[in-house]
Every structure is written in structure tokens, then in C-alpha cells.
Amino acid sequence: MVYLFIGQDSRSPDAPLSHKDTRLKQIKEEFLPKSVADFNLDILYAETLKLKELQEKLLALPVKSAKRIVVIKNAQELGPELDDFILRWAKQASKDILLLLDMEKQGKKEAFLRNIYKYARIFRFKEVLALNTFNLSRRIEQRNAGYALEVLSQLLKDGERPERILGGLRYAVENSRMSAPETKRRIRFLLECDIEIKTGRVKPVFALEKLIVKLCALAQPFH
């Protein structure tokens, strides 16, 4: 009886509710009688949630209903103690309680999620990433040229300057653990791109795209 909401919420301009609120409304309608819904729904926030409070909420009995729903917002902020308790609870969860964990991103929660997936029903929502040159360098490191080019395109649309993108990539190369020859090779590619942009021989976007394809094509990914 664990539900997972994973991803960031959004709402269409003409919609009265966000996607997550719409889904929560459907779950309430499925499990809670309308007349007593408010008595059987608790909304908690991970940032301030204490273990004792969560234990009390999960032990409380439904009021004139077959179930109660306990929602934890921003569940990506739960601490290790609460994670461990929720995992233990999920293994022998009461049929009276539906626990809904609402997290915007799974990042640092990957280990927790791997353990709880078997007990959970999962709802995914679009996750909006805050893109930067670190994301770009990671995609290059993974030699994922297609995704790296998408990240580059979004960075430029967001107003990031080509010279700042180059600077971020150079920082990533200089602080990696690759061999000296590999570092020099990548630095050479970066300098060639910089010259192409500054001399106007190639439009910045094309110069950066060519650079990314070159870096992704290198035989040995950097770390």
C-alpha cells in the first residue's frame, strides 16, 4: 500500500489542478468516502517530519472508511532514519493505510527506491532538469552524443553564452582523472572550437555541436 509520485508537478494554463493534484484526487475518490475524506487524509512534509509523527499517522485508524491516506510531500528530503522505517513498514504494511510518497526527483534516493519498488505502485511525472555545463560534461563522459546535443541546445535557448559553456567543459576536462595525453587532446579540441567562434569562421552553435560530437567520439571516456 505504498504509492510513489516521481517527477515535478505542472499545470496546464486552462486546468484547475496540477497533474499530481489530479491524480491524488482520483486516488481519494477511489479509496475514501466523500463525506469523511478530510478525516482520513494527512499531508506531511519531509523537511520537518519526525519519525514519531509518521509512526502515529500510520497507526491511526480510518474514520468510517476502509482506508486512510498519508501523503509525504518532498519525499526526496526524507532522512535515513525515516527511509529505513518506511522500508520496514512497507514489508508488512497495514491494509488500512495507503502511504503516498511524493518526490520531485529521485537523484539521491536511488538506493531507497530500488528497495521499495517491489512494494509500490509508481506514477511518473515529467521531471524538469536544471541544466548546466556539468550536465553537459556528464553526457559527453557517457558518450551520449544525442542527449549531449539536446542539453547544449537547451542551454543556448536558456541564454547561456558559448564562452561560458566552453569554460565549463574545460574545467571538467582539467579536473578529470584522464591521462595527460587524453587531457591535451581534449584541450586541443576546445581551443579549436574557441578559435572558430572568436574568428567568426563558424557560427557558435555549429562549432559547439562539432566539438561535442568529437568529444563523445573519443575512445576512452573521462571520469
pLDDT value of position 10? 61
Please tell me the CATH code under which domain 2-124 is placed: 3.40.50.300
Q: Which fold has domain 133-217?
A: Zinc Finger, Delta Prime; domain 3 (1.20.272)
Q: Say yes or no: do domains 2-124 and 133-217 share a fold.
A: no
Model pLDDT for residues 40-88, shown as the tens digit of each residue: 999 999 999 999 999 999 999 999 999 999 999 999 999 999 999 999 9
Predicted pLDDT at 110: 81
**Would you kindly state where each structural domain of the chain is located, as residue ranges?**
2-124, 133-217
User: How many residues belong to the chain?
Assistant: 223
Q: And the C-alpha cell for 202?
A: 563558424
Contact, 172 vs 137, CB < 8 A?
A: yes
The number of CA neighbours under 13 Å toward the Cβ of 38 is 1
How distant, in Å, are the alpha carbons of 58, 177, 187 from that of 171?
48, 12, 10
Q: Which one-letter amino acid corresponds to residue 182?
A: E
> How many alpha carbons fall within 13 Å on the CB side of residue 15?
10
Query: How far from chain centre, in Å, is Cα 50?
Result: 24
DSSP secondary structure letter of residue 209 = H
Between CA 211 and CA 192 the distance in angstroms is 9
Supply φ then ψ for residue 126, to 5 degrees.
-60, 130
Residue 109: what pLDDT?
A: 84
| Cβ-contact 72, 45 below 8 angstroms | yes
Asked if residue 66 lies in contact with residue 31, where contact means CB atoms within 8 angstroms, the answer is yes
- Which residue stretches of the chain have pLDDT < 70? 10-15, 107, 127-131, 219-223
For residue 73, give the C-alpha cell.
510531500
Predicted confidence at residue 222, as pLDDT, reads: 44
What is residue 221's predicted lDDT score, i.e. its pLDDT? 47
